[in-house]
């Protein structure tokens, strides 16, 4: 009896998040790492004005660097005891696996970004108004959805076999470039830094939404082929 | 299920490829001579404009390669027989395309240096070409991941089609981004060149010549790939005979 | 219509990294049989099991599993075939109950089936709440088997199921397999343990260098 995609996705997402809650890899390793990256940016850039101006970009850069680690961790749990193989051999619908892992990656990324934005407010002294907050939340949700979809998709391709994990950054970075560009511009608009008004950020959010839709759909269609041996 | 019979391939050139090989040589020969000697220099840029005869055609060919790889990948994926010829064309086009993309980036960079004093400008076309270049390096790395030809074909055709989705998004984001800085028209080196008749002719001839060169390179490369696959198939036969002996002993 | 011959390979060739791991295997299994696959390392036992599960493509010869030609379509049979390889396919940070729960949910098994599977493998009760990382090899194996049972697979393919288990553990596995066969499953076991496995199996197939070299 085949299960529906949404039931499979739910089971996979719950399983992934439960494992994370138990192992605490994101909270104990990835969050400190990305916080440290934010501090390193401050060392490298060494100017309060510059930092305040580029704060949005730095948050998204730190997020993308952490994305690699999160994706590799997400698939390491599947590969360490051959679970992904077992899921394949059991004929579990790969679309469900894709959605489930995307959801779990989304949740972990959101947690990460909340911490990073708070760090930016503290370290780089950016400020946020009411309209800016709405823009920021919408931007974060759509950008993160896009990152979660492409991360899961290319993570599935590069999972496991020797010499594959190093391929992940090479494949993923060009693909997330539109997210970096758009999310940074929208975030700058939300912080009203560099004289940008909040309303100028909304077209960028539209780009993020298109990106998420394209790769969500693309991922559903291709994940099965990419994890196949 | 039996393995597909590969045609006996004696050499990599055929009458057809020799024909268009000659055509490419002639066209490129004209572009070389004409570009350097017979066309006038530009009012603003002087002799630097001659890089255009290389830069614009290689850019065009790089994008042509991208389209060919995408279309060939789609043909492989959607075709019932999953004919390996499509996969080989996709791979060959990507390899040749990467070389043309590199040429585009180098020529664009040099042109920028001479006309504007900088090696790099965030011109949307150049930036997108740079992304295309890196994306195709990734595609070629995925092709090198190993496995049977069918597995390789399936994986890389999906990656190529994802790239087809991604590159327009990248381009659009970069265009939008640069429009903020209102530099789009100013920074494109070929934006303000007044094209004299013979310049336009040489340029178009260059586009034609490079395209024919592209076709020639891809045909040969994909034939070499076919030979390589045939060799793998015969190596498999040998390995099977060895294994049979091993089993009998 | 239920075919009696559930696995039917004739001169099948399967390639792994350009190497013909199976170089012409003629192998068949009938319903509810327990067949032992034995042979030295590198003979191709694991490859044969993976090919039967539809994980590896068969490039030459003919290969039918449950009546389906797996050279053409190796994905539709996967739901009906269970493979337990060298790895257990478990999630170390989750408990036994959570692992079996996960598998029950993704394959659509009922709660009753889940409970029955855990009981049969003797992993219910207090043991069910222990994390997989804390278990012995035998307990992990039994948990993996429970996840297999819950899938209601018609064919069980087991690669060295006795490995790493003590004598008691091995006996338990044998008992479980015999029960499964009488309940309707067809079982193929690849094992080095020739004597023990011969008590279990109705037939032994010897695999050497990618070829079948003897049936008993």
The complex's ipTM? 0.89
Closest chain B residue to C207, measured at CA: B247
- Amino acid A196: pLDDT: 82
Chain center to CA of B157: 16
Confidence of residue A217 (pLDDT cuts 50, 70, 90): very high
The CA distance from A81 to the nearest CA of chain C, in Å, is 5
| Section B51-60 average pLDDT | 87
CB B74 within 8 Å of CB B113: no
The backbone region for B82, taken as left when phi is positive above 0, alpha when psi lies in -120 to 50, beta otherwise, is left
Start-end of H helices in A124-158: 130-158
| Nearest residue to B177 (alpha-carbon basis) of B131, B116, B108 | B131
Confidence of residue B185 (pLDDT cuts 50, 70, 90): very low
- Amino acid B10: pLDDT: 60
How do residues C150-161 score in pLDDT, each as one tens digit?
A: 888 899 999 988
What is the set of domains in chain B, with CATH numbers? 15-248 (1.20.120)
CB A208 within 8 Å of CB A146: yes
Closest chain A residue to C51, measured at CA: A89
Confidence of residue B192 (pLDDT cuts 50, 70, 90): low
| Section B174-191 average pLDDT | 66
CB B134 within 8 Å of CB A174: yes
**Is the per-residue pLDDT at C175 higher than 80?**
yes
Confidence of residue B120 (pLDDT cuts 50, 70, 90): confident
Sheet with C81-84, edge to edge strand ranges = C81-84, C155-159, C186-190, C34-38, C203-208, C211-215
Chain center to CA of B116: 28
How do residues A127-173 score in pLDDT, each as one tens digit?
A: 888 888 999 999 999 999 999 999 999 999 998 766 777 899 999 99
- Amino acid B1: pLDDT: 39
- Amino acid B6: pLDDT: 54
How do residues A27-72 score in pLDDT, each as one tens digit?
A: 999 999 999 999 999 899 888 888 888 899 999 999 999 999 999 9
**Is the per-residue pLDDT at B70 higher than 90?**
yes
- Amino acid B121: pLDDT: 79
CB within 8 Å: B173 and A228: no
pTM of the shown model: 0.90
**Is the per-residue pLDDT at B45 higher than 80?**
no
Element (H, E) at B15: helix B15-33
Tell me if residue B194 falls in helix, strand or coil: coil
A202: which residues sit within 8 A by CB, 6+ positions away? Answer: A135, A186, A189
- Amino acid C211: pLDDT: 85
How do residues C132-152 score in pLDDT, each as one tens digit?
A: 999 988 889 889 989 988 888
How do residues B129-181 score in pLDDT, each as one tens digit?
A: 999 999 999 999 999 887 778 888 999 999 999 999 999 999 999 888 888 77
- Amino acid B101: pLDDT: 94
For residue A77, list chain C residues with Cβ-Cβ distance below 8 A.
Answer: 91, 93
| Section C34-53 average pLDDT | 89
How do residues C59-85 score in pLDDT, each as one tens digit?
A: 888 999 998 898 888 888 888 899 998
Report d(CA B234, CA A59) in Å as an integer: 54
For residue A184, list chain B residues with Cβ-Cβ distance below 8 A.
Answer: none
Could you list the residue range(s) of the whole structural domain that residue A58 is in? Answer: 5-227
Spell out the domain ranges in chain C.
Answer: 5-215
More confident residue, B7 or B87: B87
The CA distance from C200 to the nearest CA of chain B, in Å, is 26
- Amino acid C165: pLDDT: 78
Which residue of B138, B159, B177 is in closest CB contact with A181?
B177
How do residues B5-38 score in pLDDT, each as one tens digit?
A: 555 656 667 787 788 888 888 888 888 887 787 7
Total domain count for chain A? Answer: 1
Superfamily of domain C5-215: P-loop containing nucleotide triphosphate hydrolases (3.40.50.300)
All chains having 3 or more CB pairs closer than 8 angstroms to chain C: A, B
Closest chain A residue to B140, measured at CA: A171
Between A126-135, A171-180, A193-202, B2-11, the lowest mean confidence (pLDDT) is in B2-11
For residue A228, list chain B residues with Cβ-Cβ distance below 8 A.
Answer: 151, 154-155
Report d(CA A47, CA A186) in Å as an integer: 23
- Amino acid B233: pLDDT: 85
CB A155 within 8 Å of CB A16: no
Mean residue pLDDT of chain C comes to 87
Sign of CA dihedral B81, B85, B86, B91: positive
Tell me if residue B189 falls in helix, strand or coil: coil
- Amino acid B186: pLDDT: 44
Residues 151-190 of A with CB under 8 A from B: 153, 157, 161, 164, 167, 170-171, 173-175, 177-178, 181-182, 185
For residue A182, list chain B residues with Cβ-Cβ distance below 8 A.
Answer: 173
CB within 8 Å: C55 and A89: yes
DSSP state of B147: S
- Amino acid A170: pLDDT: 92
More confident residue, B7 or C35: C35
- Amino acid C40: pLDDT: 85
- Among C106, C129, C133, most A C-beta atoms within 10 A, so best to mutate, is C106
- The DSSP code sequence of C82-129 is EEE-SS----TTSBHHHHHHHHHHHHT--HHHHHHHHHHTT--GGGGG
- Amino acid B152: pLDDT: 87
Detail the DSSP E strand segments found in C45-94: 58-65, 68-69, 81-84
Report d(CA C13, CA B241) in Å as an integer: 12
**Is the per-residue pLDDT at A12 higher than 90?**
yes
Six token digits for residue B89: 């064309």
For residue B240, list chain C residues with Cβ-Cβ distance below 8 A.
Answer: 13, 20, 23-24, 210
- Amino acid B180: pLDDT: 77
CB within 8 Å: A222 and B172: no
- Amino acid B184: pLDDT: 45
Please return the burial class of A32, using the count of CB atoms within 10 Å of its CB with bins 0-12, 13-18 and 19+.
exposed
Sheet with C58-65, edge to edge strand ranges = C19-30, C5-16, C58-65, C68-69
- Amino acid B5: pLDDT: 52
């Amino acid at each position: 009896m085949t299960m529906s995609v949404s039931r499979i996705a739910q089971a996979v997402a719950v399983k992934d998040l439960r494992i994370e809650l138990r192992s605490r890899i994101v909270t104990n390793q990835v969050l400190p790492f990305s916080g440290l990256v934010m501090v390193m940016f401050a060392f490298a850039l060494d100017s309060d004005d510059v930092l305040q101006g580029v704060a949005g970009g730095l948050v998204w850069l730190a997020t993308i660097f952490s994305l690699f680690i999160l994706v590799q961790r997400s698939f390491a749990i599947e590969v360490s005891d051959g679970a992904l193989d077992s899921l394949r051999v059991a004929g579990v619908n790969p679309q469900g696996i894709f959605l489930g892992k995307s959801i779990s990656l989304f949740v972990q990324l959101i947690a990460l970004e909340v911490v990073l934005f708070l760090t930016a407010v503290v370290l780089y002294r950016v400020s946020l108004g009411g309209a800016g907050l709405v823009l920021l939340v919408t931007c974060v949700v759509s950008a993160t959805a896009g990152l979660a979809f492409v991360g899961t998709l290319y993570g599935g391709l590069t999972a496991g076999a020797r010499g594959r994990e190093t391929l992940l950054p090479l494949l993923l970075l060009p693909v997330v470039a539109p997210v970096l560009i758009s999310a940074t511009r929208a975030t700058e608009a939300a912080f009203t830094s560099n004289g940008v008004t909040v309303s100028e950020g909304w077209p960028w959010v539209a780009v993020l939404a298109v990106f998420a839709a394209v790769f969500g759909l693309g991922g559903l269609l291709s994940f099965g082929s990419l994890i196949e041996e | 299920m039996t393995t597909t019979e590969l045609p006996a391939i004696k050499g990599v050139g055929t009458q057809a490829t020799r024909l268009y090989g000659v055509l490419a040589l002639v066209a490129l020969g004209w572009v070389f001579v004409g570009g350097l000697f017979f066309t006038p220099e530009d009012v603003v840029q002087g002799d630097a404009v001659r890089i255009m005869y290389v830069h614009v055609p290689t850019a065009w060919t790089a994008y042509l390669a991208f389209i060919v790889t995408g279309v060939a990948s789609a043909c492989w994926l959607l075709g019932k027989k999953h004919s390996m010829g499509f996969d080989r064309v996709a791979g060959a086009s990507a390899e040749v395309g990467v070389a043309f993309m590199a040429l585009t980036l180098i020529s664009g960079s040099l042109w920028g240096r001479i006309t504007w004093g900088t090696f790099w400008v965030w011109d949307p076309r150049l930036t997108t070409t740079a992304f295309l270049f890196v994306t195709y390096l990734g595609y070629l790395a995925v092709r090198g991941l190993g496995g049977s030809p069918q597995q390789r074909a399936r994986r890389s055709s999906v990656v190529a089609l994802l790239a087809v989705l991604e590159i327009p998004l990248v381009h659009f984001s970069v265009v939008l981004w640069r429009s903020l800085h209102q530099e789009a028209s100013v920074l494109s080196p070929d934006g303000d060149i007044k094209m004299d008749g013979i310049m336009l002719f040489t340029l178009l001839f260059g586009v034609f010549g490079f395209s024919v060169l592209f076709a020639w390179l891809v045909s040969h490369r994909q034939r070499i790939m076919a030979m390589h696959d045939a060799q793998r198939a015969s190596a498999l036969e040998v390995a099977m005979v060895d294994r049979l002996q091993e089993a009998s002993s | 219509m239920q075919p009696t011959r559930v696995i039917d390979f004739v001169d099948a060739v399967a390639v792994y990294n350009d190497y013909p791991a199976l170089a012409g295997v003629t192998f068949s299994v009938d319903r509810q049989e327990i067949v032992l696959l034995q042979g030295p390392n590198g003979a191709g036992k694991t490859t044969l099991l993976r090919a039967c599960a539809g994980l590896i493509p068969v490039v030459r010869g003919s290969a039918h599993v449950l009546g389906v030609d797996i050279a053409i379509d190796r994905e539709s049979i996967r739901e009906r075939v269970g493979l337990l390889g060298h790895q257990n396919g478990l999630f170390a940070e989750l408990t036994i109950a959570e692992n079996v729960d996960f598998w029950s949910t993704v394959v659509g098994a009922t709660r009753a089936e889940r409970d029955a599977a855990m009981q049969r493998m003797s992993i219910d009760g207090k043991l069910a709440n222990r994390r997989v990382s804390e278990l012995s090899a035998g307990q992990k194996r039994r948990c993996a088997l429970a996840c297999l049972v819950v899938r209601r697979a018609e064919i069980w393919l087991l690669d060295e199921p006795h490995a790493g288990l003590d004598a008691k553990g091995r006996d338990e596995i044998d008992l479980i397999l015999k029960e499964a066969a009488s309940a309707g499953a067809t079982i193929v076991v690849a094992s080095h343990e020739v004597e023990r496995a011969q008590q279990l199996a109705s037939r032994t197939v010897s695999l050497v260098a990618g070829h079948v070299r003897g049936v008993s």
